Amino acid sequence: MIAPTTLPSAVLLDWDNTLVDSWPNIYESLRETFIAMNHAPWTLEETKKRVHLSLRDSFPVLFGNDWQCAMKIYYRAYERRHPEKLAPLPGAKELLDELAGKEIYVALVSNKTGSYLRIEVEYLGWKNYFGEIIPLCSNNSRTPFQSMKYLSEIAGLCIKGAPKAVSSIIK
């Protein structure tokens, strides 16, 4: 899978819909939120097309001044299904196994709330694959890609035990 001449010293990975399929829980929780807030719910396909921002960025646009109420509804719905609705994407575990086997440092970066992210990593039994698990709130970035760019610039300082240069970003 990974050619020996292209091995990076470290890899930063996003979580949602890169390593795991989180769409079922996102979709069902949003559907419940839209209905409770008297909005027309999206289909799964619409959800996948429209959800690109964090909750804190998208909910004020979707729900206006009621966004914090909508957020509470969403998180209650999300927590009822969490983490049972989560599933690894095909090939994700094999990729992590291969990176671990080649002793490539792997950090996980996500715009997901830290407590949810840690529960999900633990639920799948994947904690030992990651040298660091960095939720959005740890670095004030708005998206995982911004977090990855930030961490790739100062990886030696931010990621304990990481090599000085990070040569791969996967989003």
Same domain assignment for residues 73 and 113: no
CATH number of the domain residue 106 falls in:
3.40.50.1000
Per-residue exposure over 62-83, b if at least 16 CB sit within 10 Å of its own CB, e if not: bbeeebeebbebbbebbeeebb
Element (H, E) at 13: strand 10-13
At 50-108, the pLDDT tens digits run 998 888 889 999 999 999 999 999 999 999 999 998 999 999 999 999 999 999 889 88
**Which residue range is the domain that position 105 belongs to?**
4-21+87-170
**Contact present, 74 and 60 (Cβ < 8 Å):** no
Same domain assignment for residues 106 and 77: no
Q: Can you give the pTM of this predicted structure?
A: 0.77
Same domain assignment for residues 59 and 136: no
At 130-147, the pLDDT tens digits run 988 887 655 455 555 555
Same domain assignment for residues 105 and 154: yes
Specify the higher pLDDT residue, 95 or 3.
Answer: 95
Same domain assignment for residues 16 and 91: yes
Band the pLDDT of 164: cuts 50, 70, 90: very low
pLDDT at 140: 54
Same domain assignment for residues 96 and 114: yes
Specify the higher pLDDT residue, 153 or 110.
Answer: 110
Same domain assignment for residues 43 and 16: no
Q: Which of 78, 97, 103 lies closest to 9, judged by CA?
A: 103
